[in-house]
Amino acid sequence: GARRAPFVLRALRIAVVVCLYWFTSIAMVFLNKYLLDSPSLRLDAPLFVTFFQCALTAALCLGLSAGAACGPPCPGLPALRLDPKVSRSVLPLSAVFIGMVTSNNLCLKHVGVAFYNVGRSLTTVFNVLLSYLLLKQTTSLYALLACGVIIGGFWLGVDQEGAEGTLSWTGIFFGILASLCVSLNAIYTKKVLPVVDGSIWRLTFYNNVNACVLFFPLMMLLGEFRTLYHFDKLGSPSFWGMMTLGGVFGFAIGYVTGLQIKFTSPLTHNVSGTAKACAQTVLAVIYFEDTKSFLWWTSNLMVLGGSFAYTWVKGLEMRKVQEDPNVKSSEKNEAGV
């Protein structure tokens, strides 16, 4: 019985973390769609929205850390202070992180919430590609076939959006870029975690502080300060309420993603993300009252099916590695990605 209890507890904890991740992630996508591309808001400043979320995240990290310092010591919350040396070490990851949040938001700005999942579906494909290029890891035939299905679903989706007259090539471009950055982000996070003593918390803080600094010249370049100056709802409390809510979800998503990876594995995190994307697509079609063609739904199912198949194949390979101690250690490492 002693072995059982921790397992049940662990399963329960994983279930809670996964639900948290779903709720936060879906709520954030709908909120961001409103902030980036709502006809009632008419604000064309995607970088400012992203910058505000990063700034709020950094501030929340500091605030919670200060709060923890005053109260009883909390093991999960280290004291935060800016160490320029650490900040520099985190910089390559921050660049990828900025690419990820910006291209995500720009993709969401240009495509519908319903298509957003297909638009960003190539992350798994990039995972395979980058594992090979950066980590010299090969992928099995079955996993590659699953990737083929995802790519097919992606193309069919692009084709169907075109047929419905709702295709945005800008959105597709940023969707592909976002997929690449999400994949790079996972690889770099593992690399950089030791620099911040393995603390997701510290990493979140440094990442967002770096991002804020780097966003400023970008916003000037794109003339977003001028846009904001002429924005009619700049004094509106409901606008800032929405912005703050978006920022809080932005803060929470980083944390619950970290938690989900920590308590499950990057692989399970992918499965959860895939299932969540499915729910999100259905919700979006219902909420925005879209009617979608059979082939459009097929493209979504191909993307989801391919992602599930990939994760399932990976899971089987992992189990085989664990059961057979004679498997080469290189394959053992590969299964952990």
Number of H helices, E strands in the chain: 13, 0
pLDDT band of 332, cuts 50, 70, 90: very low
95 and 184 Cβ atoms separated by less than 8 Å: no
> Distances from the Cα of 265 to the Cαs of 163, 259, 314, in angstroms?
38, 10, 12
User: Angle CA(124)–CA(128)–CA(134) in degrees, nearest 5?
Assistant: 130
* pLDDT tens column, 74-91: 655 777 889 999 999 999
221-264 pLDDT, tens digit each: 999 999 999 999 999 999 999 999 999 998 888 778 878 888 88
Q: What average pLDDT does the segment 106-133 reach?
A: 94
Three-state DSSP state, 235: coil
Residues in the chain: 337
Is pLDDT at 4 greater than 70 in this prediction? no
